[in-house]
Chains A and B, each alone.
Chain A
Amino acid sequence: MKHLLSVTDLDAAEATALLDTADRLKQALLGREVRKLPTLRGRTVITMFYEDSTRTRVSFEIAGKWMSADTINVSARGSSVSKGESLRDTSLTLSSMGADCVVVRHPASGAAHRIAAWTDRDRAVTGIHTSVVNAGDGTHEHPTQALLDAATLRERLGGIAGRRVGIVGDVLHSRVARSNVFLLATLGAEVVLIAPPTLLPVGVEEWPCRVSAELDAELPALDAVMMLRVQAERMHGAFFPSSREYAIRYGLSPERAALLPDHAIVMHPGPMIRGMEIAPSVADAPSSAILGQVRNGVHVRMAVLYHLLAGASS
């Protein structure tokens, strides 16, 4: 594996290998006072975030540090980006400095692909092999989120193949939904997208999933339900009449959560807007896997860094 740009680059065996590595890393650190592995000593991981993030940036940094890589964070604010430097020049600068891995989040879909193509080309000039990890590009993909969701499903449900997973809400603006649909389908799950028609992307009928507008009708047959945040910052228009109406029709209230089977789990990629897409009591209930998702995020990102950086450069 050279870059991690899209879950569609992973086949079932590769995705499962990543999840297995994450499990083993979790085991290797279990019950230890010192959570530090020497595996990536001397490797440099730079996180480059052009959008705000808590979970993803911090968990990549922890993942790198627990494996002894040197991790450096660059955010658009406070870097030369604010002086007008192009993405092209910023990425060339970082790989010339010796970054073994650049983790990038960018508001433009396809940004990680562009950077990966540039670092491959620049390798002749810089002599440095830089791996690129897509940590969210616009409304396109967020592969490590889908991987940590898969890890959580496997952990809580005992498997992924044959399970039915509902993804509810703002699918249109959600890179999390897109990555999850493709990864979970690769791993054999049945995915149902549940959203108002205005919040579904064009071409969704080509995706390997079913689409429904009726949340209450779908809930009793789901093994897991993934609530998406309504991404107000990406909405330039009226996609639904009011927040209140959205919460009533698509929010996971306690009454609605009671429709789920007993074994089913509730997931949310975060950040949550309590009271909008999910009720506070549902988010904190035992059936909620939300904090488990966050914990698995660190191990999954360690696994990704391990697969990209531990072996010989390809």
Chain B
Amino acid sequence: MTDDRRGGPADAAGQVTPARELLSAADVTRTIARMAHQIIERVADRETGSLAHAVLIGIPTRGTILARRLGAAIAEFSGTEVPVGSIDATLYRDDLRRGPARALAVTDVPEGGLDDLLVVLVDDVLMSGRTVRAALDALSEHGRPRAVQLAVLVDRGHRELPIRADYVGKNVPTARDEQILVKFTEIDGVDGVALARTTGGAG
């Protein structure tokens, strides 16, 4: 996810106070394992236990990493590889006109499209729901999935659209001027989730 969506005007102005840890590296691993179990339980075919109709699609950047982690955990626990892809929602956002042109991220939808598959959309932080709305629009261009579910590591509230997650790693009540900082080893060198408050900012 792009930094702004995690909330708070910290990028624009203001200082970020030292972050308070919400999830340690071990907590992140445990949380992802729990979410993987929940996905297997809800997605697997009731009779055959098959996951063949499922696909994990992450929203770049950290949603894609989380989707890969969930995919690996699902493969470990169920013995089935679930395809993992990514979808960039930038071109479908409703706030493009509010800032300079944003860089685009990788879109990698498994070959054959998404027709009749069960898509689990994955992102790191759920706040307003606007990114998810944009991602749903982008998904619909790649086919007509049987259903779409949403998995997020942190739900921090402040929804602006009627969207909710099916799988939540951790619910965190936050103030609008706070920021959720998600870190993954793949790009940040370390796993962890922290809460930071911005002070002196414009918002």
Residues of A bordering B, CB below 8 Å: 1, 17, 20-21, 24-25, 27-28, 30-32, 34, 36-39, 67, 306-308, 310-312, 314
* Contact of B109 (CB < 8 Å), options: A20, A24, A31, A39: A31
B141 close to A24 (CB less than 8 A): no
B98 close to A24 (CB less than 8 A): no
Interface size class of B (residues with CB under 8 A): 20 to 34
The answer for the CA separation of A67 and B96 in the assembled complex, in Å, is 13
Given contacts A31-B142, A311-B102, 6 further A-B contacts (CB under 8 A): A24-B88, A37-B92, A38-B92, A39-B91, A311-B97, A311-B100
Contact with A along B86-104 (1 / 0, CB 8 A): 0010011000111111111
A-side contacts of B99, CB under 8 Å: 311-312
B-side contacts of A24, CB under 8 Å: 88, 104-107
Residues of B bordering A, CB below 8 Å: 88, 91-92, 96-109, 111, 113, 137-138, 141-142
CB distance from A87 to the nearest CB of B (A): 28
B88 close to A28 (CB less than 8 A): yes
A-side contacts of B106, CB under 8 Å: 24, 27
The answer for the CA separation of A67 and B97 in the assembled complex, in Å, is 15
CB distance from A314 to the nearest CB of B (A): 7
The answer for the CA separation of A222 and B107 in the assembled complex, in Å, is 33
A-side contacts of B104, CB under 8 Å: 20-21, 24-25, 28, 306
B-side contacts of A308, CB under 8 Å: 101
B-side contacts of A28, CB under 8 Å: 88, 91, 104, 107, 138
B100 close to A312 (CB less than 8 A): yes
Residue of B nearest to A303 (CB): B104
A-side contacts of B111, CB under 8 Å: 31
A307 close to B137 (CB less than 8 A): no
CB distance from B161 to the nearest CB of A (A): 17
